[in-house]
């Protein structure tokens, strides 16, 4: 008899729910979307109760009577701030990881020495997209400051907690001690009672009555993992040394850090699913979202954008260069908040297909920066959207050992965590991957030339002009 867990994946654009058995087979899945609002420049807000409404809508379509889950486990976007009162009710809209309004606060309030100290202790180069600076920029007093996933966990169980992979998104987590840093909390001026206790990702508490119709009250709910770490956990099964590349609204590049390697202050280090294991994480902030932007701009579909991206460039299109910094910054190898999406070489002859190919290629070239930083000899395991052939083939043509899957890595990774914790699974299957072939020699030579030109131009040509408000 197979055993099933219910996975809840709180994403940036919508929530996914899935029933996953102890062989990591997807028995059923559903999803529902919610909106992100942009009430002012740099803002990216969501309503937490829109998440719960979407969750209930998605769960309602699952065959729970036929496959009652033995546990619920969470994964989700981070860092996204939910500030609450003492009853865990949000006091303001959630500020997602796309919100850059606290960048100015970090630049003004933290000295270079402060920023170096935060990076040295937490493993994270700091900017305004972390939970504590977002809270300080909110300017309202809260009883709890939670991540999105952990607020949803609290809504389901009444328990306030986080785990290491999500705690690392606050800006005050001590990587070495796997706990909150009293020094960093004091630097921010944030009392420890505001942040949730850091617990094991397998900690569980009973589901409150009536929270998930169709799921028995008292069902264990596991704290789970950040979506990037959950995806890495799945993609690297069978090869701990592989690099996981996970495409979504953003793209995550995550690999286990060498224990003997000296830590760099300009790279992000994050706790992995396995205890005492640390990874290097490089995030490209606006990859899937920039492709959706172009689809909307050209009145086309994502499928059309991906199809255009896979075509060989035209004579005019080959001169086009697009930098995918549309989130207003970057957190890959380039950790900068002064970048903007940029198009160079556009002419009256430029077509939507040219733009799609150049944008996809720009994303692949930024991925190349990341992969070369992590090690060219490591296998690359890439989870991508259906039909997204261009970027994996670009990377393979540039010499990387790439294999892909269209399976949802974060869902399956956190399901693996839950089944292992519950004692359901003795040996979980590795991901089913498809090797990617490179283009021919001539195309490879041309692609390498375009890569060199791109790297010679970017990011220098994509610096965002200072806003008038910053100059005053």
Nearest partner of 402 among 230, 284, 234, 244, judged by Cα: 244
In a domain, 205, yes or no: yes
CATH number of the domain enclosing 67: 3.30.420.40
State the Cα torsion 345-349-353-358 to the nearest 10°: -10
In a domain, 310, yes or no: no
pLDDT one-digit tens code per residue, 77-136: 989 999 999 999 999 999 999 999 999 999 999 999 999 999 999 999 999 999 999 999
Q: Is 168 helix (H, G, I), strand (E, B) or coil?
A: coil
In a domain, 319, yes or no: no
For range 32-60, the mean pLDDT: 97
pLDDT one-digit tens code per residue, 234-262: 999 989 999 999 999 999 999 999 877 78
Decide if 439 contacts 405 (C-beta within 8 A): no
In a domain, 135, yes or no: yes
Q: Residue 40 pLDDT more than 80?
A: yes
In a 13 Å sphere around the CA of 349, the CA atoms on its Cβ side amount to: 9
**How far is C-alpha 222 from the geometric centre of its chain's CA atoms?**
20
Q: How far apart are CA 278 and CA 305, in angstroms?
A: 36
How many other C-beta atoms are found inside a 10 Å radius of the C-beta of residue 206?
15
Q: Residue 315 pLDDT more than 70?
A: no
Domain of residue 79, residue span: 4-227
pLDDT given for residue 213 in this prediction: 94
Q: Is 449 helix (H, G, I), strand (E, B) or coil?
A: helix
pLDDT given for residue 375 in this prediction: 83
Question: What average pLDDT is seen over the chain?
Answer: 93
**Secondary structure of 239-290 in HEC code, one letter for each residue:** CCCCEEEEECCCEEEEEECCCCCCCCCCCEEEECCCCCCEEEEEEECCCHHH
Q: Residue 425 pLDDT more than 70?
A: no
For range 37-65, the mean pLDDT: 97
pLDDT given for residue 70 in this prediction: 95
pLDDT given for residue 316 in this prediction: 60
Checking phi first, is residue 448 left (phi over 0); if not, alpha (psi -120 to 50) or beta? Answer: alpha
Nearest partner of 317 among 295, 340, 298, 343, judged by Cα: 343
Cα–Cα distances (Å) from 270 to 132, 180, 371, 426, in that order, read: 17, 14, 17, 27
What is the maximum span of the chain, computed from C-alpha positions, in angstroms?
68
* Number of separate domains in the chain: 1
Q: Give the residues across from 344 on adjacent strands.
A: 321
In a domain, 106, yes or no: yes
Confidence of residue 177 (pLDDT cuts 50, 70, 90): very high
Q: Give the residues across from 247 on adjacent strands.
A: 251
pLDDT given for residue 117 in this prediction: 97
Angle at 95 between CA 168 and CA 181, to 5 degrees: 25
Q: Residue 386 pLDDT more than 80?
A: no
**Secondary structure of 58-105 in HEC code, one letter for each residue:** HHCCCCCCCCCCCCEEEEECCCCEEEECCCCCECCCEECCCCCCCHHH
pLDDT given for residue 469 in this prediction: 42
For range 208-227, the mean pLDDT: 97
Q: What is the 3-state composition of the chain as percent helix, strand, coil, each rounded to the nearest 5? A: 35, 20, 45
Q: Residue 224 pLDDT more than 60?
A: yes
pLDDT given for residue 188 in this prediction: 97
In a domain, 385, yes or no: no
Beta-carbon contacts of 235 under 8 Å, excluding residues fewer than 6 positions away, are 242, 244, 246, 381, 383, 405, 409, 413, 431
Beta-carbon contacts of 472 under 8 Å, excluding residues fewer than 6 positions away, are none
pLDDT given for residue 313 in this prediction: 77
Q: Residue 347 pLDDT more than 90?
A: yes
DSSP state of 341: -
In a domain, 115, yes or no: yes
In a domain, 299, yes or no: no
């Amino acid at each position: 008899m197979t055993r099933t867990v219910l996975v809840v994946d709180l994403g940036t654009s919508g929530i996914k729910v899935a029933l996953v058995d102890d062989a990591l087979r997807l028995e059923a899945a559903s999803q529902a979307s919610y909106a992100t609002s942009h009430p002012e420049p740099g803002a990216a807000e969501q309503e937490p109760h829109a998440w719960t409404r979407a969750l209930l809508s998605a769960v309602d379509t699952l065959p729970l009577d036929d496959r009652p889950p033995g546990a619920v486990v969470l994964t989700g976007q981070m860092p996204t701030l939910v500030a609450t009162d003492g009853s865990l009710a949000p006091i303001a809209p959630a500020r997602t990881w796309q919100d850059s309004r606290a960048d100015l606060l970090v630049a003004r309030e933290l000295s270079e020495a402060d920023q170096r100290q935060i990076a040295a202790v937490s493993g994270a180069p700091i900017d305004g997209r972390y939970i504590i600076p977002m809270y300080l920029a909110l300017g309202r007093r809260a009883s709890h400051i939670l991540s999105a996933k952990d607020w949803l966990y609290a809504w389901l169980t009444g328990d306030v907690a986080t785990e290491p992979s999500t705690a690392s998104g606050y800006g005050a987590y001590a990587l070495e001690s796997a706990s909150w840093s009293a020094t960093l909390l004091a630097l921010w001026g944030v009392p420890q009672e505001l942040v949730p206790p850091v617990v094991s990702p397998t900690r569980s508490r009973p589901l409150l009555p009536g929270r998930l119709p169709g799921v028995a009250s008292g069902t264990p709910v596991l704290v789970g993992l950040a979506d990037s770490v959950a995806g890495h956990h799945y993609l690297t099964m069978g090869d701990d040394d592989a690099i996981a590349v996970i495409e979504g609204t953003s793209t995550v590049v995550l690999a286990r850090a060498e224990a003997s390697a000296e830590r760099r202050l300009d790279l992000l280090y994050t706790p992995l699913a396995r205890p005492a294991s640390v990874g290097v994480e490089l995030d490209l902030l606006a990859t899937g979202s920039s492709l959706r932007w172009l689809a909307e701009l050209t009145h086309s579909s994502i499928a059309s954008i991906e199809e255009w991206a896979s075509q060989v460039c035209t004579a005019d299109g080959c001169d086009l260069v697009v930098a995918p910094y549309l989130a207003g910054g970057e957190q890959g190898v380039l950790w900068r908040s002064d970048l903007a999406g940029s198009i160079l070489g556009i002419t009256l002859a430029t077509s939507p297909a040219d733009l799609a190919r150049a944008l996809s290629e720009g994303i692949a070239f930024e991925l190349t920066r990341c992969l070369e930083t992590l090690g060219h000899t490591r296998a690359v395991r890439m989870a991508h959207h259906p039909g997204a052939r261009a970027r994996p083939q670009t990377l393979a043509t540039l010499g990387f050992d790439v294999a892909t899957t269209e399976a949802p890595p974060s869902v399956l990774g956190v399901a693996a965590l839950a089944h292992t914790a519950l004692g359901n699974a003795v040996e979980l299957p590795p991901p089913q991957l498809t090797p990617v072939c490179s283009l021919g020699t001539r195309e490879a030579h041309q692609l390498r030339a375009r890569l060199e030109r791109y790297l010679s131009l970017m990011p220098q040509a994509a610096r965002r002009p200072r806003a008038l408000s910053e100059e005053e």
